[in-house]
Amino acid sequence: MERFSLKRDWSEIPGHLLANVLERLIVADDYVKFGAVCVSWRTVFAEELGMMKMKKKHRHLLPFLLIPPHKEEKDGNTKSRSLYNLSNRRVCDFEVQLPHSKWCRGSCFGWLVNLEIDYYSNHYSVQLQNPFLSNNHTIDLPPLDNFEVINEQLAKQPLCLKKAVLSANPTLADDYVVMAIMGDFGRLAFFKPGNKDWIPIDSNQLVHITDILYFSKTQKFYAVDDLGAVFAIDLQGEDEE
């Protein structure tokens, strides 16, 4: 009687099926382990990364949380942050180096927004930083010194920049937009590469904004105010509620 083996050669799975599986992974650990299975899986993994770079797309994976490190420096100035993995509920061994003198705001695509305030000169410097890149990991943004909302409110506090989001990954695209919530009244302003200053969005409706995100399929920013109203912001068109 002939016996049938249940063993399967996973390296012979068709590439289009592997690519389909890869698209459904949301945990960074699984994404890396996928490419380490065998040569054929690694090939699909590399091809997908190449296609993402060519199409200037970014894989949306489950994010990590930035938390205080386990050990404080002797001088009390914390210069690093630990990463918390939501998938396995563990603190990663890898630590992110961040300047202790700057206020940090989370953004997207691995980029953080750092705000440094010089209270004596009333200078507000803003910088994008990607702690996971070895080269070209910082991008200087226009300072907030001349931004009217900040100066009018004399907002000498880190809340003058509450949140900032990106329309694309600056590592893969040069035409990205940074949209930020500014000041105590929660107004919006944006920056495009080549601009010398932040450009405020002058609208009586877009005030008291509490959150904002970018949706790539519609190529619009979406903002929510403190009353729950949702606004779609198209930088090439008009705002609509």
Give DSSP secondary structure letters for 46-85: HHHHHHHHHTT-----PPEEEE--SS--TTS---EEEEEE
In this predicted structure, the answer to whether residue 127 has a pLDDT above a threshold of 70 is yes
Provide the 8-state DSSP code for 240.
B
Least confident residue range of 29-38, 82-91, 121-130, 167-176: 29-38
- Quote the pTM value: 0.68
Q: What is the pLDDT of residues 75-86, one digit of tens each?
A: 555 577 777 887
Q: Name which of 56-65, 105-114, 197-206, 225-234 the model is least confident about.
A: 56-65
Sheet strands (E) in the chain: 64-67, 80-85, 90-97, 103-106, 112-118, 123-129, 138-141, 161-166, 178-182, 187-191, 199-200, 209-215, 220-225, 230-233
Across 143-149, average pLDDT: 67
The answer to which of 46-60, 79-93, 132-146, 205-219 has the lowest mean pLDDT is 46-60
Q: Which of 22-26, 68-72, 213-217 has the highest mean pLDDT?
A: 213-217
Compare 131 and 50 and report the one with higher pLDDT: 131
Q: Is the pLDDT of residue 224 over 90?
A: yes
So where are the chain's domains? 11-54, 101-233
Query: Over 90: is that where the pLDDT of 222 sits?
Result: yes
Q: Comparing 168 with 9, which gets the higher pLDDT?
A: 168
pLDDT band at 238 (very low <50, low <70, confident <90, very high): very low
Residue 205 reports pLDDT greater than 80:
yes
Token match 């877009």: residue? 206
pLDDT for position 77: 53
Asked if the model's pLDDT at residue 151 lies above 60, the reply is: no
Locus of tokens 């931004």? 147
